[in-house]
Amino acid sequence: MTPEPMKILFLAAEAAPLVKVGGLGDVAGSLPPALRQLPPEVTGGRPLDVRVVIPFHGEVQQRLPAPEWVTNLLVERASGAVQARVFKVNAGGQVYYLISGPPIDQPLPVYSPDDRVNGEKYIFFSLAALELARQLTWQPDILHAHDWHTAIAVYRLCQNRLVDPFFQNTRSLLTIHNLPYLGGDATEILAEYGIPPTQNRSLPAWARSFPLPLGLLAADKISAVSPSYAREILTPEFGCGLQDFLATRQQDIHGILNGIDTAAWDPATDPGIPRPYSIDTLDLRRANKTALQEELGLPVSDDPLLVFIGRMDNQKGVDLAIEGLRKALELPWQAVFLGTGSALLESAARSMESEHPDRFRAVIRFDAALSRRLYAGGDMLLMPSRYEPCGLAQMIAMRYGCVPVARATGGLIDSIRDSRPGSPGTGFLFSDTSGGGLEAALNRAFQAYQNADAWQAIQKNGMEQDFSWTRSAIEYAKIYHQMSEDAS
């Protein structure tokens, strides 16, 4: 007799390949398939039936003009019920439900700069997603919600299951991808949708009508996207004013390192790089560096080629990277920075290029294709983040033999093993939030780079790491199984 599947209602604001703005899109696009493919011995004998639900954003509607209609439903509101329409699409074998409705249908970006617009959009979505499960008569064992955008679903579930038999055995997991994004004060919007703010004194008074704190209060379990970040959010430096509250929930907080799609990120089969290679043919990699230098108009040289790939953002430490390179001008290096973001940081990168045109390139745009060539041709990845809940770039870089030079924070600690003389790791870590800290790490990296055998040992160590989503999915399945047992 086939065991009853464990039903997982998986809510997120974005999910690749349908829509991707940041790392959350990668998680919501890659984790559900990995969960479904887990063998019975790691799921407590029950296969996982994972249903992903995201908003039917305007930009997704433009790309998917005719998805399959599933149902219409009503979301109650003080001024009158609001209709939501639900559609379904299959992408890569995974079924996605897409929820539309007046707060979602506007031709706006996935994340609006207006807190009020964002708040109504995602609160409406969260409530509609719960009602969708009821409409489908599909009782979830687990509600797995992600970040503030879906946290109100967790909060409402906690209220509903006290009085609603449909949800009485549903348990919730809320994953924190980036704690500083709390969702803003949603007092008025919550009142419109009949959701009272909490009076629970374990939350700071200011946080009692913010979506993410409400979800964290109500969730049965909480996860952060790396073990180190799970510890960091308990401290004043990273806790965003919630550290004392989170300390009361410490036993329910789990740190699970994100993964990457190892099939999509494979230098041996990547059609987007000039010369594919593997850990066994690492010498072929040099052709990618030469091609990159020629493409960007840099001198073809054996000097270390440093790359930065990501948002031009204070969190990412772009200013620290530029300061560190200025301090290391006497060392031989070339550098390429790819990304967009802060106008001030973009300008700093352009200034660096104008001052050092033979050594530095600032590519101020989003360019996924170029990022692949940078991973495949760069010698070192700069990642001096002030904080980094998980980070994916360092995992991709290691898979491509591009050695990360990164700050020791969050998921960077958990995914990079620091290299020391005579003890090759997978990268180079530093602690100081200063250009001097990065300069010292670069000095160590450059010294290792001079020894071809030692450098190749570091590259191969990184390429051998298992950053597959299977590893992460197993850890999530353990939490699901534990919560399901607790509910029975």
pLDDT for the residue numbered 107: 79
pLDDT at 82 exceeding the cut of 70: yes
Note the pLDDT of residue 425. 97
pLDDT on residue 1: 59
Question: Is residue 148 predicted with pLDDT exceeding 70?
Answer: yes
Q: What is the pLDDT of residues 84-102, one digit of tens each?
A: 999 999 988 889 999 999 9
Question: Per-residue pLDDT tens for 153-188?
Answer: 999 999 999 899 999 999 999 999 999 999 999 999
Q: Decide if pLDDT at 110 tops 80.
A: yes
Domain 279-463 part of CATH 2.40.30.10: no
Inter-residue contact 215 to 223 (CB < 8 Å):
no
Backbone angles phi, psi at 24, to 5 degrees: -60, -40
Q: Look at residue 379 and tell me whether its pLDDT is greater than 70.
A: yes
Sequence-distant (≥ 6) Cβ neighbours of residue 190 within 8 angstroms: 123, 152, 196, 197, 209
CA dist 4 and 479 (Å) reads 18
189 band by pLDDT with thresholds 50, 70 and 90: very high
User: How high is the pLDDT of residue 462?
Assistant: 98
What is the pLDDT averaged over residues 380-408?
Answer: 97
Q: What is the pLDDT of residue 422?
A: 87
Task: Say how far apart CA 130 and CA 128 lie, in whole Å.
Answer: 5
Which of these, 110, 28, 115, 10, lies nearest to 62 by C-alpha position? 110
Report the predicted TM-score, pTM, of the whole model to 2 decimal places. 0.93
State the pLDDT confidence band at 197, using cuts at 50, 70 and 90: confident
Q: Mean of the pLDDT values across residues 456-467?
A: 97
Task: Report strand pairing: 428-430 vs 6-11.
Answer: unpaired
Res 54: pLDDT? 97
Q: Is 279-463 the same fold as 6-259+469-487?
A: yes
- CATH numeric code, 6-259+469-487: 3.40.50.2000
Model pLDDT, residue 435: 62
Exposure on the CB side of residue 281, measured as CA atoms within 13 A: 10
Task: Sketch the domain layout of the chain as residue ranges.
Answer: 6-259+469-487, 279-463
Q: 44 pLDDT band (50/70/90 cuts)?
A: confident
Rounded CA gap, 229 and 232, in Å? 5
Q: Is the pLDDT of residue 251 over 80?
A: yes
Q: What percent of the chain has pLDDT over 70?
A: 99
